[in-house]
Amino acid sequence: MRIIDELKDAKTIAVGGHIRPDGDCVGSVMGLYLYLKKEMPEAEIDIYLNKPRTIFNCIAHIENIKSDFNVNKVYDAFLVLDCSEERLGDAALIYRNARKKINIDHHISNTGCGDVSVVEPERSSTAELLYDMMNPDLIDKEIATALYIGIIHDTGVLRYSNTSPRTLQIVAELIKFGFDFPKIVEETFYERTYVQTQIMGRSVLESIRFMEDRCIVSMVSRRMMDFYRVTPKDLDGIVNHLQSVKGVDCAIFMYETGTLEYKVSMRSNGKVDVASIAMKFGGGGHVRAAGCTMNGTYHDNINNLSIEIAEQLSRAD
């Protein structure tokens, strides 16, 4: 499907993505926005997204993102990327009012929430999927940069198993535009502030292995976040670090979001399907990377997750 085929008569268009937007979400939303501005210069196009991390300021026109969702506007089309309606946050109200709802995603847990839904779980990233829905002749350096960021963030810089030959072909096409990709990888993916490094270090130090060392868990409390003066955005990457410990099949990382409420991130080497576990607790994601929000004490949450993980590991053995 070409995106333009679904937008023929649209004069007002909105593009949005999930709460706590990650690299693929920001890259996809901005890549599509920049592309539509070019392909449909007459149309009025707005972007609705929670404020992205400043590391993404290298993306052109990122300042055009609207993070005030208190609008009554009825758009001809609203494209929701990298998630389904439930994770749109307050932008969901605008989405529901839109005349045509379009959903483009790669999460296996997404059953599709649009009048038109394109959900391809075999795709590394929403950015990769979008590339194949665009007219390649219209892609320019700015669009390429945004899509590249989406792909590298969801593939861990092209090293996760979701990286396919098509992913690499697309990346080859994108880097031909000549943007400074080593700088982008360093500054958006690897570079961490001092406090981000400190809280990662503390999380690793306080992590606990269980289930014969096949699982690892760590938690950051609100007190710790206040102490280091960090926000949830500063905790990205900790769970991946835990998963890279030799012998670990499943890593869990939680941070406290409220009284008896935790945001949970899970990673797996493939033996455990963390998407199915996250879905049982109202979340979603991919087989090897998923998340959810859980209510209860930290230890209750670990217990509840452990039951599911143990069941899957015993089936996998």
Q: Which chain residues interact with ligand 5GP by CB under 6 A?
A: 87, 107, 109, 239, 265, 283-286, 289-293
Contacts of residue 52, Cβ cutoff 8 Å, sequence gap at least 6? 21, 26, 62, 65
161/297 with CB nearer Mn ion: 161
Out of 6, 154, 234, 308, point to the residue binding Mn ion (CB under 5 A).
Answer: 154
Contact 257, 271 (CB under 8 A): no
Asked whether 87 and 21 are in contact (CB, 8 A), the reply is: no
- Name the minimum Å distance from CB 304 to ligand 5GP: 15
Smallest gap from Cβ 264 to Mn ion, in A, equals 18
**Is there a contact between 82 and 103 (Cβ–Cβ < 8 Å)?**
no
Q: Does 24 bind Mn ion (CB under 5 A)?
A: yes
* 273 part of the interface to Mn ion, by CB under 5 A: no
Q: For residue 57, which of 152, 135, 177, 149 has the smallest C-alpha distance?
A: 149
- Taking the least distance from each CB to ligand 5GP, the nearer of 145 and 162 is 162
Indicate which of Mn ion, ligand 5GP, none lies near residue 293 (CB less than 5 to 8 Å, by partner kind): ligand 5GP
Give CA–CA dist 306/312, Å, rounded.
10
DSSP state of 231: -
Rg (CA), the chain: 19
Could you tell which of ligand 5GP, Mn ion, none binds residue 109, using a CB distance below 5 to 8 A set by kind? ligand 5GP
Q: Which does 65 bind (CB under 5 to 8 A by kind): Mn ion, ligand 5GP, none?
A: none
Q: By CB under 5 A, is residue 128 in contact with Mn ion? A: no
236 binds Mn ion (CB under 5 A): no
The window from 16-24, 167-175, 192-200, 249-257 that contacts Mn ion (CB under 5 A) reads 16-24
- Binding partner of 257, given ligand 5GP, Mn ion, none, CB within 5-8 angstroms per partner class: none
Question: What token pair was written down for 315?
Answer: 């089936």
| Residue whose Cβ sits closest to Mn ion | 24
Q: What are the contacts of 37-41 at 24+ separation with CB within 8 A?
A: 38/138, 38/140, 38/143, 39/3, 39/4, 39/135, 39/138, 40/4, 40/7, 40/10, 40/13
Contact between 82 and Mn ion by CB under 5 A: the answer reads: yes
- What contacts 104, CB < 8 A, 6 or more positions away? 28, 79, 80, 81, 82, 117, 118, 119, 126, 129, 130, 133
Compute the least distance from the CB of residue 217 to ligand 5GP, in Å. 14
Using the contact rule CB under 5 A, the part of the chain among 20-28, 110-118, 135-143, 249-257 near Mn ion is 20-28
Binding site for Mn ion (CB under 5 A): 24, 82, 126, 154
